Amino acid sequence: MPSTQFEQRAMRRALELAATPGVPLGPNPRVGCVLVDDSGRTVAEGFHRGAGSPHAEADALARAGGSARGATAVVTLEPCNHTGRTGPCAEALVEAGVRRVVFAQRDPNPVAAGGGATLRAAGVEVDAGLLEDEARALNRVWTFAVDHQRPFVTWKFAATLDGRSAAADGTSRWVSSAAARLDTHRLRALCDTMLVGTNTVAVDDPRLTVRDEHDRPLAEQPLRAVMGERDLDPGRRVFDGVPGESVHLRTRDPHAALAELHALDRQHVFLEGGPTLAAAFLRAGLVDEIVAYVSPMLLGAGRQAVADLGITTITDALRPTVTDVTVLDGLDGEAPNVRLTMTTQNRTET
């Protein structure tokens, strides 16, 4: 049975619930659920608030009580079919007497998938795919990590018009504008891992924290990861433990580093290392998104934004697809910077 007009409205509301601000980053997807009766009246709503908390369906069922019997559950992701920190939502919907379930995205996680089949076997009507594109966009990083068994990688860099990230004498403060740096912290807050190489830590001693416009660290911080085999001074700021955790990945292999982070349930890596680390990930085909801040200045010499990629002819150039161009207005008299957001050709769409 095709979805009705009121089910479409309910799904849009479920997507809004799933995107509720303040839900912490974590290994679980963002999910919303709306229970409606045959007249289209909302019986109850729910959404998932992070790992360990009730799933969206369980949240809505608890709010509905006995009113859930005979209702339609409209949910952004296929109800789970396994027991983790919480019980399987498919069974909870059956036990509550829900008559029909409409979900947007099929669960790509083989551990949790199969909820739709369980519901059908119990006599519940099931319709899949309503507003699926919107649901997948909401959980694009989680879906990618599940499908590819590695974190999604965003490489961020700042450069001059001629592609320099530092002057010939090594100075780089500041290639980017204050507005660009503040925007970078906004993007950092959307990731669960910051990643740099050991050379960046040894030379620059970065904090790798997410900070507000007053340079104060936010309460929620990504994992600070350092990649490389060399020993580092434990007094470097990335290892200070306040705020957030840190880890030293003792490998130079991007594949191995991402495998370790995936094992730690990390899904979105924000790559902010130097040109050598960026080149290693690009050559391995492990950069999925590029965010470039371009400053209106010329240096003519100095450190390049990325090291040798092994490309010797123009026909072999990497050609990322531009998805957004934003001009960031200058603060305190600074010249505006341009933020380019791009996807790479190696990324498999999900």
Give 80-130 as a 3 state SS string.
CCCCCCCCCHHHHHHHCCCCEEEEEECCCCCCCCCHHHHHHHCCCEEEECC
> How far apart, in Å, do the first and last CA atoms of the chain sit?
26
Q: Is 213 a catalytic residue?
A: no
Give the chain as a 3 state SS string.
CCCCHHHHHHHHHHHHHHCCCCCCCCCCCCCEEEEECCCCCEEEEEECCCCCCCCHHHHHHHHHHHHHCCCEEEEEECCCCCCCCCCCHHHHHHHCCCCEEEEEECCCCCCCCCHHHHHHHCCCEEEECCCHHHHHHHCHHHHHHHHHCCCEEEEEEEEECCCECCCCCCCCCCCCCHHHHHHHHHHHCCCCEEEEEHHHHHHHCCCCCCECCCCCECCCCCEEEEECCCCCCCCCHHHCCCCCCEEEECCCCHHHHHHHHHHCCCCEEEECCCHHHHHHHHHCCCCCEEEEEEECCCCCCCCECCCCCCCCCHHHCCCCEEEEEEEECCCCCCCCEEEEEEECCCCCCC
CA distances from 249 to 199, 207, 259, 281 (A): 13, 17, 10, 15
Q: Which of 7, 57, 78, 272 is catalytic?
A: 57
Whole-angstrom distance, CA of residue 104 vs CA of residue 119: 15
User: Any idea which residues carry the catalytic annotation?
Assistant: 57
